Structure 1
Amino acid sequence: MESFPTEIHQGLQHMSESVFVGLCEIVGTSQQVALRRDTVDIKEMVENRLITNDNLIRMMSGSRREGFRLKGSDIDTMYWFNDHRVIMDMSQSEYYNTANTILIFADSSESPPGFTLLQKLTPSTRLIEMTKVKLARSHTMFYLPVDSESYSEAVGGQSWFKRMRQDFALDIMLCNKIFFISELLPEQKSALRSRNHILQIPVFVMLHFLEFLCYRHIDTTLSLAALDELQVLVHHGRRPLVHKMQREISWEILGICQQMTGNLEAALYSYQQSQITQHPFFNIQTARQRRIQDIVQSTQHQYTEDLPLD
């Protein structure tokens, strides 16, 4: 009886060895598997170096990529354009030439394990995301000083010219003789009729405004998220992001976005706040009154349609 455990142990050991030998005959030894994997890596590396931006990149995946050769197993192969690059962080976009490269952002923050969301960065959205990254830096200066220690640590040793160019953010100045954004066309025309040639918009208000417009036809969720950020910014009017004299145009832009989404009640409130905080610097009251009239007429028309018929 005492030899029984020993016999079992020897039997299991012999069985394990037999299974290992059988697997090696089927899939190959560990050295063979590693050699196959390295061969595929080297082959693809050489092929991809010969590919221009106009060609497709081929990449083997699945069990064959891992070096296994299983009878009946399918062959998994991925193809993608050579001018497409996947980035995991928005800050990585600075290292690519977007003139000949299309960036795809992989966002796994809200995805289940093993999955990711891929978002193609158009030139407009890429520029916005890059701007958000730069403005989020702790040493970026607006109107008021930032933490001196963080600023010195970040820009120490740089010339004043480089500091001003990279680490100082000012308002967006739109020349009213040039129509940049169709949604702001009435405001620019209104200001121009009053001989106001500049429309000065806080940088974060413009950022969220453009983000809302760009994502509106691409991703509704991101567009509404941008509108939420704009609403929080304007409602709180936190300096130095929104100066007191800029609240009029900020409320106006918020109202435009809300009106575009069909939230007429919120838009009307924003236009009224824009009127309350109006500043002679902007001269956009004509455009605002027209927008308010459009909302009132639309509401009255809807109310008339909802009246019961006798």
Structure 2
Amino acid sequence: MDFLSENVYIDSGFQHLCESVFVRLCQIVGTSVQVAIRRETKDIKEMVKRRVADNDDIIAMESGSIREGFRLKGSDLDFMYWTNNHRVIWDMSQSEHYYTENKTLILSDSSESPPGFTLLELLTPTTAGEVQSACIPMNDRLCISSSLYRQQAQIHVFPGSIGHGPCESGEVGGLEYDFARCFACDFWPLSASYWINRCHSWPDREDVNEIVRNGCHFVPIGHPLGLHEHEEWRISFSLAEHKLVHSMNHCQFLTYGLLKIVLKEMIDEQSEETNKLLCSYHMKTIIFWVIQQNAVPLWCPQNLLAGFWVCFKLLLKWVYEGVCPNFFIPENNLFLSKVHGSAQRKLFLALHGLYEKGLACLLQSPSIKSYITNVLYNPRLSICTIEDRMISECDHDKELFDEIDCNTSYFPKNLDHCIKFLHTIELMIGEPLTQYQVLMLQRSTANILQSTAFTLHNTYTNTGRNKQMYIADRMSCHMLKLAAKFGFISDMMYIAMFYCKTFRFREAMYITEMIKVKLAQPGRMYRTHVDPERYTEAVGGQSWSTKMRQAVACDISLNNYTCYIKELTPEQQSGFKQLGIPLFVLLHFVEFLCYRHTDTTLAQTTLEELQVLVHHDQGLYVPEHNRNISWEILGICQQMTGNLNAALHSYQQSLTQFPFYKIQNATQMRIQDLHIT
């Protein structure tokens, strides 16, 4: 038991314990392959979106733990948004890098602000209403008030959101989110220049140069002890932090994950008075400092707990001193105004109590405890730390295809925008890419071809030029069939929708029958639901491209800038950029629309099957966030058959679901159109 005491001995027993915790953390946090999949798919998604962005677009960047590669229970979904045609500069000489006819320039002045904070002065006119409304005069300057900007720029993506620091926060489907509107700066802050010289061993010079090139952001929150709390903005290093986390080796990343687990399961459970003093950002700051200062000679599975213990002792020291130095601007004390007084003393005593137990304190973690006791009671237990053996081929593929599905929805606004997307992807194919990024581009191309096909058809419909319509129709069909050749099984649904839209009902039903046959095959993977043994028998050992085409299906995402099914026009116009529909709901819907014109008996049978699915599904085929659109589609079908009371019930049920796709206005309009008194 010596290796559980305060003094960490690097003996075989300790190494055995470290290996056991390493395996457990790979199960909780993910293997290095899983983490790479999560990061690289999101990298490609953001790269494509930024390259096609127009000057006046809003740019979105995912940040936080999910973007870093974590999928821990309770991980927040964090996004930062900024207007592409606004840029912050640090001095007037930097203005020469911009064409001010299409860029609004903002000057940062940190002379009166605490370290890490600044005032923002509007230099050139802006057309952004939220910026204009947030401007206030300060000493003959027009400054942008952070508190006013927070109020003006709230997105209100989901109901029930509240202000939380610089963010708009809330919860959707059990997932907490933080959305922050901010400003981008293409230059590295002078106040963080010392950090560049501090990077001797980590990160390497190439990463440092990229971090500096990427600049920083400004989020709307002032320092609580600053002279201009309501006007100041905080310098955000989110982009730099992404790069730093991505440059960690896997043992370092798992140690960071262990710190987050210990915070949630042990430290926050100590007392109500102290459970909000520390946050995940403090844990990230600790691991950054420990890695850079070479406080741990070797980061490997056999030494994982030694690295964790160094981090824990640094946390204890910081809480005792009441100082947590920002990694980029150490003068910015992240504990200031939060960790002080009696709460600080209670937090220190709680942490010291854990410290006195040594590594045995980890027995208080429900996630880790059993793996420690397993080693203690079975000292000869064989532990395999080879990551390839920790996860099956099926589980690996589930992770990959789920991430690809989540990160390949793009929403071109018009035909020119579609062409811009396709050209961007074409250029990226020639760049050095990982195997996961190649698959991402493959699926992304299918997605853009689908949007292009429908946009092209809608552009030439009713033009009165038959030859152009015929050519457009042939091109659209060709693009949809091409997309289906290297997309998921479910991508065939776009062909069925197109045939239904162009009144080729028998062709559409032929496609839906093909889809149903493919979906009925053993080993089919749908939204991560799969029989592992049958999946391996069906496609085990084959290329991911083959697996994607033959065994994987996902739900359907409609780009709301174009029309796919005219019966859903109100819903597409009422929602935001996309409308997600469960695959099996859409399959029944398209069949119902086709059978109405060819066989009314089969139309009724299809409607009854749809009703059973929507009424009784337990989340297998109709996820919670898709239930409002599923009830809506059922109501549309019932209304079309003349069953108005059933339609009313379905629409009312749609309104009671979480409004994930914001179709409530369309639902209310449909209820009014029923004319039921």
Q: Distance in 2 between matches of 1:269 and 1:142?
A: 29
Q: Distance in 1 between matches of 2:665 and 2:644?
A: 19
* Partner in structure 2 of residue 207 of structure 1: 587
* Partner in structure 1 of residue 621 of structure 2: 241
Q: Choose 245-254 or 137-146, whichever is displaced more.
A: 137-146
Q: Choose 161-170 or 283-292, whichever is displaced more.
A: 161-170
Kindly indicate whether residue 676 of structure 2 is the aligned counterpart of residue 299 of structure 1.
yes
Q: Distance in 2 between matches of 1:174 and 1:130?
A: 21
Q: Distance in 2 between matches of 1:146 and 1:229?
A: 22
Q: Which residue of 569, 573, 577 corresponds with 1:197?
A: 577
Q: Distance in 2 between matches of 1:274 and 1:237?
A: 15
The letter of the residue matching 1:230 is: L
Q: Distance in 1 between matches of 2:526 and 2:620?
A: 6
> Aligned pair in 2 of structure 1 residues 149, 129: CA closer, same or farther (>3 Å)?
same
* Partner in structure 1 of residue 666 of structure 2: 287
Contact between 2:505 and 2:594, CA under 8 Å: does it hold in 1?
no
Matches within 5 A, 1:46-57: none
Deviation at 1:123, TM superposition (A): 1.2
Q: Which residue of 543, 557, 564 corresponds with 1:159?
A: 543
Q: Which residue of 206, 227, 238 corresponds with 2:607?
A: 227
Show structure 2 runs of 5+ residues with no match.
1-503
Aligned length: 175
Kindly indicate whether residue 513 of structure 2 is the aligned counterpart of residue 129 of structure 1.
yes
What SS class does the counterpart of residue 291 from structure 1 fall into?
helix
The letter of the residue matching 1:284 is: I
Q: Distance in 2 between matches of 1:121 and 1:283?
A: 30
Larger-gyration structure (1/2) = 1
Q: Distance in 2 between matches of 1:121 and 1:249?
A: 23
Tell me: higher relative CO, structure 1 or 2? Use CA pairs within 8 A at least 6 residues apart: 2
Contact between 2:588 and 2:607, CA under 8 Å: does it hold in 1?
yes
What SS class does the counterpart of residue 187 from structure 1 fall into?
helix
* Partner in structure 2 of residue 16 of structure 1: none
Q: Which residue of 171, 190, 203 corresponds with 2:555?
A: 171
Q: Distance in 1 between matches of 2:646 and 2:514?
A: 30
Matches within 5 A, 1:1-310: 122-191=506-575, 196-279=576-659, 281-295=660-674, 298-300=675-677
> Aligned pair in 2 of structure 1 residues 201, 252: CA closer, same or farther (>3 Å)?
same
Provide the identity percentage.
Answer: 56
* Partner in structure 2 of residue 13 of structure 1: none
Contact between 1:144 and 1:240, CA under 8 Å: does it hold in 2?
no
> Aligned pair in 2 of structure 1 residues 206, 180: CA closer, same or farther (>3 Å)?
same
What SS class does the counterpart of residue 557 from structure 2 fall into?
strand
Q: Distance in 2 between matches of 1:239 and 1:288?
A: 22
Q: Distance in 1 between matches of 2:594 and 2:658?
A: 28
Q: Distance in 2 between matches of 1:250 and 1:200?
A: 10
Deviation at 1:121, TM superposition (A): 7.9
Q: Distance in 2 between matches of 1:249 and 1:185?
A: 13
Deviation at 1:258, TM superposition (A): 0.4
What SS class does the counterpart of residue 173 from structure 1 fall into?
strand
TM-score by length of 1: 0.54
Deviation at 1:232, TM superposition (A): 0.7
Deviation at 1:230, TM superposition (A): 0.7
Q: Deviations over 1:82-140 (max 9, x none)?
A: xxxxxxxxxxxxxxxxxxxxxxxxxxxxxxxxxxxxxx982111011111111122311
Q: Distance in 1 between matches of 2:601 and 2:634?
A: 17
Flag as ranges the 4+ runs of structure 1 deviating above 6 A.
Answer: none
The letter of the residue matching 1:299 is: I
Contact between 2:629 and 2:654, CA under 8 Å: does it hold in 1?
yes
Deviation at 1:241, TM superposition (A): 0.9
> Aligned pair in 2 of structure 1 residues 158, 201: CA closer, same or farther (>3 Å)?
same
Q: What root-mean-square deviation, in Å, do the aligned CA atoms of Structure 1 and Structure 2 show?
A: 1.8
Q: Distance in 2 between matches of 1:270 and 1:213?
A: 18
Deviation at 1:142, TM superposition (A): 1.3
What SS class does the counterpart of residue 299 from structure 1 fall into?
coil
Q: Distance in 1 between matches of 2:617 and 2:644?
A: 22
Deviation at 1:146, TM superposition (A): 1.6
Q: Distance in 2 between matches of 1:268 and 1:138?
A: 38
The letter of the residue matching 2:568 is: L
Q: Distance in 1 between matches of 2:586 and 2:529?
A: 22
TM-score by length of 2: 0.25
What SS class does the counterpart of residue 178 from structure 1 fall into?
coil
Q: Distance in 2 between matches of 1:127 and 1:145?
A: 23
> Aligned pair in 2 of structure 1 residues 185, 172: CA closer, same or farther (>3 Å)?
same
* Partner in structure 2 of residue 43 of structure 1: none
Q: Distance in 2 between matches of 1:160 and 1:144?
A: 15
Deviation at 1:293, TM superposition (A): 0.9
